[in-house]
């Protein structure tokens, strides 16, 4: 079983819609959680960290459920520029802060 | 001013050759990483150095040897290249203890072994 699991999609969503992605992680000792975004043929970039109380950054809301070992990302009022692969990322070892990536969820926003 | 720069951007080479990829960061970070992204787009860590000391060495063939001459540079040398080494290799840097600020990734080196 992969340490971080995501639905690979693809998700094809009309512009303006709300879309949600989920992710589960297997290591209950995991410490830190993130969503990264990767555009086609580009490097991954940090979208947002995920905090226990949930957090929002503009149209993006991230939630963490430690009991269920589950992370989510909600995108409201989706824009064409949101088309990308969204990577769920976990740090399980606080000593070396190794990022463990999920396989990513591919999102395409349709005009 | 590029924060994490990798060279070359593209590398096409024959099986059996030896090649190097270079990485430099000007962010003042103390930790650097090599990640491999395979054809299925899965990103997996290979190595990490903190202040020139190897702190992560995942199960990677001995043909791969990282070298960190100083904390701003992390190079990757690959001996006897195989077809399965074809992938995108990303260098990244961070400040240990500040992972919440995110890693900064280089733009990647697309290696094709023919």
Q: What is the pLDDT of residue A71?
A: 96
CB contact A42 to B (< 8 Å)? yes
Spell out the residues 6+ positions from residue A18 whose beta carbon is closer than 8 angstroms to its own. A74, A75, A76, A77, A78
Instruction: Name the pLDDT band for A40 (thresholds 50, 70, 90).
Output: very high
Model confidence band, residue B52 (pLDDT cutoffs 50, 70, 90): confident
pLDDT at A16 over 70: yes
Chain B residue at shortest CA distance from A32: B100
Residues of B in contact with A42 (CB under 8 A): 107-108
Mean pLDDT across the stretch B26-42?
92
* B79 CB-near residues (< 8 Å, 6+ apart): B18, B63, B65
Closest CA to B51 of B36, B71, B69: B71
* pLDDT of B39 above 80: yes
Cβ contact (<8 Å) for A44 and B43? yes
Whole-number average pLDDT of chain A: 93
């Amino acid at each position: 079983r992969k340490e971080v699991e995501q639905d690979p999609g693809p998700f094809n969503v009309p512009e303006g819609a709300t879309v949600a992605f989920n992710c589960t992680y297997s290591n209950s000792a995991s410490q830190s959680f993130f969503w990264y975004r990767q555009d086609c043929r580009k490097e991954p970039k940090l979208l947002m960290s995920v905090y226990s109380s949930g957090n929002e950054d503009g149209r993006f809301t991230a939630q963490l459920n430690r009991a269920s070992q589950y992370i989510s990302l909600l995108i409201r009022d989706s824009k064409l520029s949101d088309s990308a692969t969204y990577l769920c990322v976990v740090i399980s070892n606080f000593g070396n802060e190794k990022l463990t990536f999920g396989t990513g969820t591919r999102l395409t926003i349709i005009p | 001013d590029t924060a994490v720069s990798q060279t070359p951007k593209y590398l096409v080479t024959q099986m059996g050759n030896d090649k190097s990829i270079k990485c430099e960061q000007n962010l003042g970070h103390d930790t650097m990483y090599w990640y491999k992204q395979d054809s299925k787009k899965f990103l997996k860590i290979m190595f990490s150095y903190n202040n020139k000391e190897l702190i992560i060495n995942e199960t990677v063939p001995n043909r791969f040897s990282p070298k960190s001459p100083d904390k701003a540079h992390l190079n990757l040398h690959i001996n006897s290249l195989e077809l399965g080494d074809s992938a995108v290799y990303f260098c990244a840097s961070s400040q240990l203890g500040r992972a919440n600020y995110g890693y900064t990734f280089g733009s990647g080196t697309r290696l094709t072994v023919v």
